[in-house]
Amino acid sequence: MKFSFKRSFYLKVRLILPPIIFVILLVSISFFQPNKLPAPGGKNNLNILLISIDTIRPDRLSCYDSRYVQTVNIDKLARRGLVFDRAFAHTPLTLPSHVNMLTGLTPPYHGVHDNARFRLSQDIQTMAEYLKARGYSTGAFVGAFPLDSRFGLNQGFDVYDDRYGTKARQEFFYIERQAEKVIDASLNWLTDQRKPWFAFIHLWDPHQPYNPPEPFKSQFTHDLYSGEVAYVDSQLGRLFSFLEANRLFEETIVILTGDHGESLGEHGESTHGYFAYNSTLWVPLIIASPQIKPGRNNDYVFHIDLFPTVCELIGAEKPKVLQGLSLVPLIKGKKLPRRKVYFEALYAYYNRGWAPIKGYFEGERKFIDCPLPEFYDLQVDFEEKNNLIAQVKLDGYRHELEQLEKNLANPKGSEKQIIDADTLEKLRSLGYVAQPAIASKKIFGPEDDLKTLLPLQEKFAKAMGGYHHGKVKEAVAALKEIIAERKNFDLAYSYLSTIYKREGQIAEAIKILREGLANNPQSYSIISSFGILLAETGLHDEAISVLQIGVSLWDYDPEMWNYLGMAYWGKGDFDKAYEAYEKVLALDPDYPIVFNNLGSLFLSRYLKNNQPEDIDKALNYFKKAISLDPELVSAYNGLGGAYKKIGRWKEAIDCWQKALELNPNYDFPLYNLGITYYELGDKKAALKYLESYLKAKKNISAAEKEKITTLINECRR
């Protein structure tokens, strides 16, 4: 998420930083001749296209179920290849699920269990790295923040296009870009490729909030989720038409899948990530090729099977570490050996301190381990309505799960300790830690089971839904009730602070985050939100203390380094600010906001020291920010300020007007245009912009209001 921080000097320059937001879908299509497999270790140079649709239920694709929406383009793909009726994710969250797909490994090995707080280790090979080493060009085009390059999935990609723009930091949903823009970027890349290539395309749209573009919004007024799916299908039609027109279907392995499903109220869950039922683990999977006999398969297959399948389809030896099985035997009409396959749902564990959910599939049997365990026979009860746990030996299944997790674990270790004694001591010295870290709890009872706590979770979801429909007081009251009942519900603090901030109650926003951090010293959400809010509101010393703790826990998050730089800049410590911004660029070289902030840093240095090299750097940094994000209004405003300082009035005015074109209520360019036209003697234009500035400016001080009013009166005379 991106916040903004204001620094007042004669020219006002706005800084905004990118949001922590968060994800994504995966699909790939593959073509292969079952009777003419490449020789082991050989090479057939087939292209590989992996398409992932985020948050997609198989029953919303008409090749699986025609009741809800007609997905004509995906259906055409399904008619080309093999449709797997029983494909499953291992994790109902975007980042870990895509890590599972692109590494062929489960979370006990690669250690990525949740969005945002984990980063894939560089020691683990991705499918892109594997293919790149075999001569493939590699490109990824992702739709939302959870797959941002900072989380490590960019390993092995020549191009990792995660340019989904910038946005305010404290938002309730992940920053995203629509499927149309993702497909545009992927087509631009594919047009320039020569065989062989590997393309990974992730389309985020079906993820909440459901808001499809027209005409799909009108066509699916009462089922906006299906409208999102219909929109994605229309955009995939453009991609498939390109493949058809360029005869690429004849030499490409296409795999289409999803990272996870969406509950839509099943089992009382409105979205995903909380439980691990089939409503969120069941995903579509289509593998297509001109040489594959079209058909369907009902064997149980999983995301970790995609990597070894690709290896066999291109005739290359698969890495020994892979934990999945090649699906080529199923393509050839054979069977796979019976196996136990791990899954987990740890979002509530890491973000609330609530009980973890782990389990495994074995054929059509499914065991879910939690304080109130569950067992299902999926052959007769795929919707998991009849818990048979009383009919099985619980200890035996728990022992099998324990052994399975142990067998899957990385011998080198994979999970980074979230907090250590030194960090806790720092927090205590700042007065934040009120109790031991809740997430360190190891033994959970029925009171910690997610089924027991579901009413609290859904109350939270209802509160946020109400807020977005204008019920501010009701949302605030509900979030306060949740905090009173469960002090380790970290997002309740973060979201409540955001509401306070949006309502102009900054002191209340800071107060609730201070309380949240005291009760949840391990919470990534609270630490990052609190540090960023402190930096934004000018409490530089406290911001630096909190953000330093944040970067000591998650040193791979460029956003916290960015705000740390802003806090140092606010104190006038340009050197430390620059060091923090350099750290950002080491983590994310294409981060528009930090280039904007560097422009502001050097502009302010120029205003202080009048060194020509500083203004040159400011101009270049602002231009770089705009090249990365042409809609970044703060960069146009800053660039205008830099141009004015060197007497290039026309360019300055053009930049400020461009900023207003993008955001007519942006107060800083209104101010700058008003003052500049006044200085140029055009009092009519100055009056227009100064009056607009007074209307747009929020929380204006009495002194500034008096100053602007005086100028307005002069212009009127």
Domain ranges of the chain: 27-267+277-305+312-335, 440-588
Summarize pLDDT for 534-581 with one digit per residue, the tens. 999 999 999 999 999 888 887 888 889 999 999 999 999 999 999 999
Distance between CA atoms of 151 and 115, rounded to whole angstroms? 9
CATH of domain 27-267+277-305+312-335: 3.40.720.10
Tokens 């030896």, located at residue: 317
Query: pLDDT grade, residue 591 (50/70/90)?
Result: confident
Q: What are 636-671's pLDDT values in tens digits? A: 999 999 999 999 999 999 999 999 999 998 999 999
Average pLDDT over residues 440-453: 89
Under DSSP, is residue 93 helix (H, G, I), strand (E, B) or coil?
A: coil
Distance CA 609, CA 382 (A): 70
Contact 263, 279 (CB under 8 A): yes
Phi then psi for 187, rounded to 5 degrees?
-65, -40
Asked if pLDDT for residue 176 goes beyond 90, the answer is no
Q: Per-residue pLDDT averaged across 284-300, rounded?
A: 92
Residue 218: what are its φ and ψ, rounded to 5°? -75, -35
* Domains 27-267+277-305+312-335 and 440-588 agree in fold: no
**Strands (E) located in 337-379:** 340-345, 357-362, 365-369, 374-377
pLDDT band at 19 (very low <50, low <70, confident <90, very high): very low
CB-facing half-sphere around the CA of 504: CA atoms within 13 A: 4
Q: What is the DSSP string of 171-236?
A: -SS--B--HHHHHHHHHHHHHT--SSEEEEEEE-TTSSS--PPTTHHHHTTT-HHHHHHHHHHHHH
Structure-token pair, residue 252: 């490409």
Integer CA distances (angstroms), 633 to 173, 399, 625, 691, in order: 21, 57, 10, 20
pLDDT for position 439: 47
Phi, psi (5° rounding) for residue 64?
-105, -40
Give the pLDDT of residue 320: 96
Q: What CATH fold (topology level) applies to the domain 440-588?
A: 1.25.40
Lowest mean pLDDT among 111-120, 324-333, 439-448, 650-659: 439-448
Q: What angle do CA 233, 230, 225 make, to 5 degrees?
A: 130
SS3 of residue 341 by DSSP: strand
Helix, strand, or coil here: 255?
strand
| Residue 49 confidence (pLDDT) | 98
> What is the tens place of the pLDDT at every residue in 36-70?
444 333 467 899 999 999 999 999 999 999 999 99
With residue 478 as reference, give the H or E element that holds it.
helix 472-485
